[in-house]
Amino acid sequence: MLFLKKITLTHFKNYDIKQFDFDKKVVGICGLNGKGKTNLLDAIYYCCFTKSYFSSSDAFNTQFNKEGFRLEAAFENIAAKQHVICIHRNGLKKEFYLNDVMYDKLSEHIGLLPTVIIAPDDIEIITGSSEERRKYLDATICQLDSEYLLNLIKYNKILQHRNSHLKQEAAQGKINESLLEILDQQLVEPANFIYNKRIDFTKKLLPLIDHFYKQIASSNEFIQVSFDSKLNNGKLDTLLIENRQKDRALQRTSCGIHKDDLILQLNNQPFKSIASQGQRKSLLFALKLAEYELIKEGKGFSPLLLLDDVFEKLDDIRMKNLLDWVCNNNDGQVFITDTHKDRLINEFDKLGINGQIIEL
């Protein structure tokens, strides 16, 4: 398993300078609203993904009126110690070190310290646009397959290029067929790579989602999750040719893996239209725990699990089922935030969890 022993935050969000030492498998982080619970989880996430889960701009991650921030963390894995340092100075390229060696490319770090996070806004994966569900798929597959991230970066770059080419054609009123053909050819290879990985991955993912949903919700509701892609119906090179007129009219690319989606249903209806809040949350946890299981299987050890305020609006039974699985049926390290210290201690006691409590 992956174990985080220590993290030091300097000028990161609301933290001036603060060190946290962890010595237990289950860590409860308590404190009133605004105390920095989410920010602490985000600092942990940052050390694993080289970026914040919540804000893409490092200016927002730097404490107000400071020149930059620093994160330092000590992880232990089955075989080795991993020491991470991240230094951000305003306006400069960020420096990211593993065991004192600076990364050339940050993408090389992804997957080394696998982590799954569940935060309140993640409910958007269920209720939001398809982009949220692609992000969920990508975040998972990227941790398992380093080629995947590289192909995704490549695909998005060419896609952007193709879209601006379509806009330019429209603005100039003349078409450049041969350039479009070249861009189409370039798009096909990374698209097929990503599509095939998503197919392989969702084949394993979907039955697990069903399993966890039933476990958390303690029910036999009929949920259905399927992977939808335009590439299910044809090869991308053909689709791009067929849609060329349409793309020119829209001035953007209408077909490709950037339109893929997970279709979520409950009793054959769109999930988000009929599911209750509790059901939505159960499905979100099912998605995330399925992700967790597959990462664990792929890596051969348990990833970190970061649970931010997950107990809000969850009924007692669902909360008990979730905590029991997370802390007792699973050997990975878990970080759980809650505004109510007593509630957390009480739940730990009930389930016989010997956890560490940190009060902010």
Give 69 or 148: the residue with its C-beta nearer to ligand ADP.
Answer: 69
Give 63 or 146: the residue with its C-beta nearer to ligand ADP.
Answer: 63
Could you give the CA distance from residue 175 to residue 188 in angstroms, rounded to a whole number? 21
Residue nearest to Mg ion (CB): 38
Q: How far is the CB of 270 from Mg ion (least distance, A)?
A: 30
Applying CB under 6 A, the site for ligand ADP has a residue count of 14
Could you give the CA distance from residue 113 to residue 107 in angstroms, rounded to a whole number? 12
- Picked from Mg ion, ligand ADP, none, the partner binding residue 329 (CB below 5 to 8 A depending on kind) is none
Site for ligand ADP in 283-342 (CB under 6 A): none
Site string for ligand ADP, 51-90 (x = CB under 6 A): ---------x-xxx--------------------------
Task: Dump the DSSP string for 110-127.
Answer: TTTS-EEEE-GGGGHHHH
Q: How far is the CB of 60 from ligand ADP (least distance, A)?
A: 6
Q: How far is the CB of 41 from ligand ADP (least distance, A)?
A: 8
Count the residues in the chain: 360
Give 65 or 220: the residue with its C-beta nearer to ligand ADP.
Answer: 65
- Picked from Mg ion, ligand ADP, none, the partner binding residue 207 (CB below 5 to 8 A depending on kind) is none
Q: How far is the CB of 102 from ligand ADP (least distance, A)?
A: 25
Give 31 or 130: the residue with its C-beta nearer to Mg ion.
Answer: 31
Nearby residues of 124 by Cβ (< 8 Å), 6 or more positions away: 132
Could you give the CA distance from residue 304 to residue 296 in angstroms, rounded to a whole number? 10
Give 31 or 154: the residue with its C-beta nearer to ligand ADP.
Answer: 31
Q: How far is the CB of 126 from ligand ADP (least distance, A)?
A: 22
Site string for ligand ADP, 12-41 (x = CB under 6 A): -xx----------------x-xxxxxxx--
Give 58 or 247: the residue with its C-beta nearer to ligand ADP.
Answer: 58
129-132 contact pairs (CB < 8 A, 24+): 130/259, 130/260, 130/261, 130/262
Give 37 or 165: the residue with its C-beta nearer to Mg ion.
Answer: 37
Q: How far is the CB of 36 from ligand ADP (least distance, A)?
A: 4
Could you give the CA distance from residue 146 to residue 317 in angstroms, rounded to a whole number? 38
Distances (CA, A) of 332 to 63, 75, 78, 146, 339: 31, 13, 12, 22, 23
Could you give the CA distance from residue 91 to residue 229 in angstroms, rounded to a whole number? 39
CA 202 centroid distance within chain: 15
Give 29 or 137: the residue with its C-beta nearer to ligand ADP.
Answer: 29
Q: How far is the CB of 314 from ligand ADP (least distance, A)?
A: 17
Kindly give the pairing relationship between strand 26-30 and strand 334-338: parallel
157-164 contact pairs (CB < 8 A, 24+): 158/183, 158/186, 158/187, 158/190, 159/187, 159/253, 159/256, 159/258, 162/187, 162/253, 163/251, 163/252, 163/253
- Picked from ligand ADP, Mg ion, none, the partner binding residue 34 (CB below 5 to 8 A depending on kind) is ligand ADP
In the complex, the residues that contact Mg ion under the rule CB under 5 A are 37-38
Q: How far is the CB of 38 from Mg ion (least distance, A)?
A: 3
- Picked from ligand ADP, Mg ion, none, the partner binding residue 302 (CB below 5 to 8 A depending on kind) is none
Burial pattern 147-160, b for ≥16 Cβ within 10 A else e, equals: ebbebbebbeebbe
Helices 316-323 and 277-299: crossing angle, nearest 10°? Answer: 0
Residues making contact with ligand ADP (CB under 6 A): 13-14, 31, 33-39, 60, 62-64
